[in-house]
Chain A
Amino acid sequence: MKMRLALLMVSLVVASLLGACAAPQPWVKPYERERLADPIMQFSRDALSDKHREHVRVVREGARGATGVQGGGCGCN
């Protein structure tokens, strides 16, 4: 009996947890993303310009990486 009660309790807790997992829903709908699509809202706009600036920095600074740009650049001097 005790075992059954414990099982029931566990089932109820798991069910309530799963129920809570229905949220959250995406709160910015695709039709609300017009401003986000503007070029001024992009972290990286022109690939060649970013590549040059990144190269200028990486050959002079000790820090590197996590630039958010795809690809690894080159280990050149």
Chain B
Amino acid sequence: MDATSLRLTCLVGGVLAAGAADAVTLPEDQAEAMVHVYSGGGVTASGPALLVRKSLADRVSMSASYYLDMVSNASIDVVTTASPYRERRDQVDVGVDYAVRDALITLSTSSSKEPDYTAGSVNIDVSQEVFGGMTTVTLGYTRGTDKVGKKGYGFIDNAKHWQYRFGVTQILTPRWLASANVEAISDDGFLGSPYRVARVFGAAVPERNPRTRSSRAIKLRTIGDIGDGPTRAAVRAEYRYFWDTWAIKAHTAEFGYSRYFGDAWLADAFVRFYTQQHALFYSDNALTETAYVSRNRQLSSFNSVGLGAKLSRSFGRVQGKYEVKANLSYELVRFKFHDFTDSRTNSPYAFSANVLQVYATASF
């Protein structure tokens, strides 16, 4: 056994030995109400969202949320190959958390409905505190099934999804923590859009996607308290690497800063960089006949930069009752495509999007 393996064995042994810690705490009772707006590239999606969480008997916490998207779509694909349309998407999530000693077991289900697409999933997540509460280990699994439809034809196909996730969060010092997460996702079925067209030798043809996809992602995060005296402030940094069997590789980096102004105001600022390389079968205009071909912008080579800010105002905690907060969040995102041509101008496509959230939270 070399020195490294010995250290590793000892760490694992120590972590297991220190497993007996205080019981895990349930998420606190909460109600949230939000209005959200996304506007960019000819698409506007907006609507309300609600969430309620309530605990029962100190052991169980139940949550339910509703989310509505009213979509008006006149994106570049739609205006150049079809006609603008409006549609609505309703999503309902229900979950239950159960605390057992140092573990929190979460069972939840999600259902989303659009006129021509329905998606349902069941999730199980287990979170376990070890090493005197300094380390939190999480494991999760999701099974999803979608029905894919086409206007005038009804539901024509389906897609199945399997998600496996694992994470570790570690307290490093009284002011610093870090986490690592990995997730593997496999898909099987119809993985494109029945409306979208690809371009082959300049002619529009229905896109052809593989019926399977498998992806991996790893994310590292760290957050540190940099407050001094009465000033409370924190900085965070995140990085994610993604790769899949369609040959997409993506990097995401995000940096954030949070600071209190007095007891009532909390301000956040963040910047996010995203870049990806296109799928193997993506083509702006294919010049060879291949089994698979797509001109889906989501699979192209592009990068985006997001700049965001959030302001929260606390109206104080009423003793023995609740605390109410009002929040305003805004993000400006700039997308720049490298191999997706805007056929109206014959130049690479680019657009800016605005993401706005106005919401109130009440903790009991």
Known contacts A40-B232, A63-B242; A48 and B359 CB within 8 A of each other: yes
Q: What separation, in Å, do the CA atoms of A76 and B299 have in the docked complex?
A: 16
- Chain A positions 47 through 61: 1 when the CB is less than 8 Å from some CB of chain B, otherwise 0: 111011101110111
What residues of chain A lie closer than 8 Å to B120, measured between beta carbons?
A: 74
B45, B89, B221: the one contacting A43 at CB < 8 Å is B221
Name the interface residues of B126-158: CB closer than 8 Å to any CB of A. 127, 131-134, 138, 140, 142, 144, 146
Q: Which residue of B lies closest to A31 (CB)?
A: B174
A35, A52, A70: the one contacting B123 at CB < 8 Å is A70
Name the interface residues of B293-335: CB closer than 8 Å to any CB of A. 297-299, 304, 327, 329, 331, 335
Chain B interface helix/strand/loop/mixed: strand
Known contacts A36-B174, A43-B236, A72-B161; A67 and B219 CB within 8 A of each other: yes
Evaluate contact between B91 and A76: CB separation under 8 angstroms: yes
What residues of chain B lie closer than 8 Å to A25, measured between beta carbons?
A: 14, 18, 132
Known contacts A40-B260, A41-B225; A62 and B9 CB within 8 A of each other: no
B233, B297, B357: the one contacting A40 at CB < 8 Å is B233
Evaluate contact between A62 and B10: CB separation under 8 angstroms: no
Shortest B151–chain A CB gap in Å is 14
B171, B248, B329, B359: the one contacting A33 at CB < 8 Å is B171
- Which of B76-84, B178-186, B199-207, B283-291 sits within the interface? B178-186
B32, B67, B142, B252: the one contacting A46 at CB < 8 Å is B32
User: Is the CB of B175 closer than 8 A to any CB of chain A?
Assistant: yes
A32, A41, A56, A71: the one contacting B95 at CB < 8 Å is A71
Evaluate contact between A21 and B51: CB separation under 8 angstroms: no
What residues of chain B lie closer than 8 Å to A48, measured between beta carbons?
A: 32, 34, 49-51, 65, 67, 359
Evaluate contact between B142 and A71: CB separation under 8 angstroms: yes
Name the interface residues of B249-308: CB closer than 8 Å to any CB of A. 250, 252, 258-260, 266, 274, 276, 279, 297-299, 304
User: Is the CB of B215 closer than 8 A to any CB of chain A?
Assistant: yes
Evaluate contact between B142 and A52: CB separation under 8 angstroms: no
User: Is the CB of B117 closer than 8 A to any CB of chain A?
Assistant: yes
User: Is the CB of A2 closer than 8 A to any CB of chain B?
Assistant: no
User: Is the CB of B125 closer than 8 A to any CB of chain A?
Assistant: yes
Known contacts A61-B274, A70-B140; A30 and B119 CB within 8 A of each other: no
Evaluate contact between A65 and B165: CB separation under 8 angstroms: yes
Known contacts A24-B11, A46-B32, A72-B163; A41 and B223 CB within 8 A of each other: yes
Name the interface residues of B57-80: CB closer than 8 Å to any CB of A. 65, 67, 69
B10, B234, B250: the one contacting A23 at CB < 8 Å is B10
Q: What separation, in Å, do the CA atoms of A42 and B27 have in the docked complex?
A: 13
User: Is the CB of A20 closer than 8 A to any CB of chain B?
Assistant: yes
Q: What separation, in Å, do the CA atoms of A28 and B185 have in the docked complex?
A: 35
User: Is the CB of A5 closer than 8 A to any CB of chain B?
Assistant: no
A-B contact pairs, 25 of them (CB 8 A): A21-B9, A21-B13, A27-B134, A28-B134, A28-B172, A29-B132, A35-B175, A36-B174, A43-B179, A43-B236, A46-B361, A48-B32, A49-B327, A49-B359, A56-B38, A59-B298, A61-B250, A61-B298, A62-B242, A62-B298, A65-B165, A65-B217, A66-B165, A66-B183, A74-B121
